[in-house]
Structure 1
Amino acid sequence: MTMDQAERLRKLVEQHPVSEHEHPGAKNPPASPQASKTAKQAKTPKPQKPARPRRPFSTNARVIAVTSGKGGVGKTNFTVNLAIALRAVGSRVMILDADLGMANVDIVLGSSSKKYLLNLLEDDMDLADVLVHGPYGVDFIPGGSGIEKAQTLDDDKQKILLRKLAGVGALADIILIDTGAGLGKNVMDFILAADEVLLVTTPEPTSLTDAYAVMKAYSRYAENPNLQLVVNRIYDERESREVAEKLQQTAGRFLHLDVGCLGYVYEDASVLRAVRRQTPFVVASPDSIAARCIRAMAQGVLYGASPRVDRGWRGFLQRIFHFSR
């Protein structure tokens, strides 16, 4: 992580200041002595310094699905903060809120919208009417219940959605799909349609069990598996390594699935304070250990993987709507 990144995030704070007046009732709870000690002792992840980007940015956006085996692991919060960190280093980022049960990307961003995906079926509606230019330079498309209905539309209506959504690929370098949690059909459709998958888990046994269930289903149906772990709410780096290695070894042995690990996020009181203020923590507390972890993973997304050919946004749309070329 470079100082330049942190400076860019501080500029975002200046553009979108956080104040108690804007969010009355959002009091900062004091961090526990144990949490403060952990944060001081924690080492900031050090991403490798690459010689060149993962691949040159183009109109063929990378489509990355962010999912989890169970709810409550911080998936959406991670997605939004990762998007802001990617934007801070120059990437054009867009989020598609595809979490049918808990669609709250707008809440984490402190933004809102009156239009949703299915409004695109209206004759006088275009992409610009649905697309939300959120704070901190991150755009998003609110899905609502429209995501679920979109997959059951007739061919003519699917073609309309495909045509109106096709332009998204030219508006972003990276499109993050915030899926729901679990193994529902809609969740699996999204992660199988995406070129890359980030699976968020925590060290809790139930979270690990559910994460393995996602990997098992993914390994069974994915054409070209490309999955990485994100371990959230850890207390030390060794814990993160143990969690990742356990899942990686199990996946390799029983599923013959090669699973990577993008990184981890420390348990941090600043995350809870930011959530209460409806402000992403990489902006509210850019120097916190959690924010430094997110910025390290943003570097990993951009530079940590070997170049590969992605099918991009249009390919994602064709797969999610089962629309043949």
Structure 2
Amino acid sequence: MDQAERLRKLVEKRPETVQSPVRGNARVIAVTSGKGGVGKTNLTVNLAIALGMKGRRVLVIDADLGMANVEVVLGSSTKKHLLNLLEDGTKLADVLVHGPYGVDYISGGSGIEKAQAFDGAQKGQLLVKLMEAGELADIILVDTGAGLGKNVMDFILAADQVLLITTPEPTALTDAYAVMKAYSMYAPEPDLSLIVNRVYDERESRDVVAKLTQTASRFLKLDVGCLGYVYEDTAVMRSVRRQMPFLILQPEAIASRCVRAMADSLLYGTTMAVRRGWRGFLQQIFHFSR
């Protein structure tokens, strides 16, 4: 199915107007991507840790319905998950997990067959029960599914801000643009920023951002920002295998420094500037290949 056909089908099922599923002063940030495999959940969890280290109360909601990716990254587990909120008598406190490294999260679960049957009425019930979360956190990171599914669109349209993760790969860029296009059609007050993952140098990141932002401005009339970038780093793969966030496993790794810089950008509006340096140069020469 090509991008144009996907967008046509999305228009046929235009998302309803969705109110933010929280109350209080929590800042709701949806983290999404055009395709899977770009490191979305891994970055979400590590960004949550970085924000927590700066004194913020952070809650991660795994809204990739039917999956439990946040649990996998944290090396944690829970018997209750997001879809249990559809059950009578199940409250937010029943599914909220005080996970390791100071990360509070709600798992997406692993019952994919239930997620496929998720309808509008159930979504409304879910949002009502999630409202209390706005009083429990300063920042809520909503880790959505990838692509243009209706559930994904509902979550990103309900958020205060959207972080769109891509990599420099052409397929990732094409799918990221498709998300930007759909978002621009429905968001009343769009606020979208890019994160470019797995770059080899800062120039590559700038090139990717320039392509997407200029195209969005010209064809979508959408003003797109850039939160930052994350260098390709072997520490990330090691952390995935050990089911431990790289910010904890190797806090001085280049990827960890990038995530901390992005946390500063989110909180203080600073411009991200992380250099590889000589050590990073040697790591790229001896460990990475294009």
TM-score by length of 2: 0.80
For residue 153 of structure 2, the aligned residue among 188, 193, 201 is 188
- Which residue type is aligned with residue 152 of structure 1? G
1:173 to 2:161 alignment: no
TM-superposed CA distance for 1:102, in Å, is 4.2
Indicate conservation of the 8 Å contact 2:66/2:115, yes or no. no
In structure 2, the residue matched to 1:98 is: 63
In structure 2, the residue matched to 1:112 is: 77
Alpha-carbon distance in structure 1 between the residues aligned to 2:238 and 2:46? 14
1:263 to 2:263 alignment: no
User: Residues 177-210 of structure 1, C-alpha deviation per residue, up to 9 Å, x if partnerless?
Assistant: 1001111111111111111000000001111111
Alpha-carbon distance in structure 2 between the residues aligned to 1:118 and 1:149? 11
In structure 2, the residue matched to 1:272 is: 237
CA gap 1:280/1:128 in 2 versus in 1, 3 angstroms: same
SS for the counterpart of 1:200 is strand
For structure 2, the 5+ residue unaligned runs are 1-22, 271-290
User: Residues 39-86 of structure 1, C-alpha deviation per residue, up to 9 Å, x if partnerless?
Assistant: xxxxxxxxxxxxxxxxxxx94101100000010000000000000000
SS for the counterpart of 1:265 is strand
Indicate conservation of the 8 Å contact 1:80/1:105, yes or no. yes
TM-superposed CA distance for 1:123, in Å, is 4.4
CA gap 1:198/1:163 in 2 versus in 1, 3 angstroms: closer
In structure 2, the residue matched to 1:320 is: none
Indicate conservation of the 8 Å contact 1:117/1:147, yes or no. no
In structure 1, the residue matched to 2:30 is: 65
SS for the counterpart of 1:72 is coil
Cα RMSD over matched residues? 1.9
For residue 127 of structure 1, the aligned residue among 68, 87, 92 is 92
In structure 2, the residue matched to 1:41 is: none
SS for the counterpart of 1:211 is helix
1:242 to 2:210 alignment: no
TM-superposed CA distance for 1:158, in Å, is 4.0
TM-superposed CA distance for 1:116, in Å, is 1.7
Q: Which has the higher contact order (CA 8 A, sep 6+)?
A: 1
TM-score by length of 1: 0.71
Alpha-carbon distance in structure 2 between the residues aligned to 1:82 and 1:233? 15
For residue 186 of structure 2, the aligned residue among 208, 213, 221 is 221
User: Residues 198-255 of structure 1, C-alpha deviation per residue, up to 9 Å, x if partnerless?
Assistant: 0000001111111111101111111100000000000000000010011000000000
In structure 2, the residue matched to 1:152 is: 120
